[in-house]
Amino acid sequence: MAYRNFSDTAFTETVAATAPATLTPLERTTVLLSIHDSRCSLGASPRFDRIVGALFGIARPSRLADVRLEALRRYAILLRMDGDSIDPVETATLRDLGFSAGQMVAVRALIAQAA
């Protein structure tokens, strides 16, 4: 029986090189729409949002129903706000949801173009 060492960095680099490096049209749209969102759209509870909305008439952007797209939106907002000092947890979350390093570079490029 054959055994493959998945901790081998050469194997990991090969897989990363063959992973798709482009964003789907929906993912691109999510990143581009997030350019207008502020940091406050990332936190706060729905109950707090309703109270603020009722008192001051302030509407906050809704969270996306798709967990993967919401994580991408969050990453794009934090990347735009924090730049290279973005929390590594955000990057790890995107990787866990199936985004490749090439796709994260594509997000950076989209944000840079929009700025």
Q: What is the pLDDT of residues 97-106, one digit of tens each?
A: 999 999 999 9
* Residue at 22: amino acid letter: T
pLDDT at 16: 46
pLDDT at 62: 60
Tokens of 34: 């997030």
Q: Which of 42, 24, 16 is nearest to 102 (CA)?
A: 16
Asked if residue 37 lies in contact with residue 77, where contact means CB atoms within 8 angstroms, the answer is yes
Arithmetic mean of pLDDT over the chain = 78
With cut-offs at 50, 70 and 90, classify the pLDDT of residue 37.
confident
pLDDT at 12: 43
Asked if residue 110 lies in contact with residue 28, where contact means CB atoms within 8 angstroms, the answer is yes
What is the rounded distance in angstroms from the CA atom of residue 86 to the CA atom of residue 78? Answer: 6
What is the rounded distance in angstroms from the CA atom of residue 67 to the CA atom of residue 6? Answer: 27
What is the rounded distance in angstroms from the CA atom of residue 15 to the CA atom of residue 105? Answer: 16
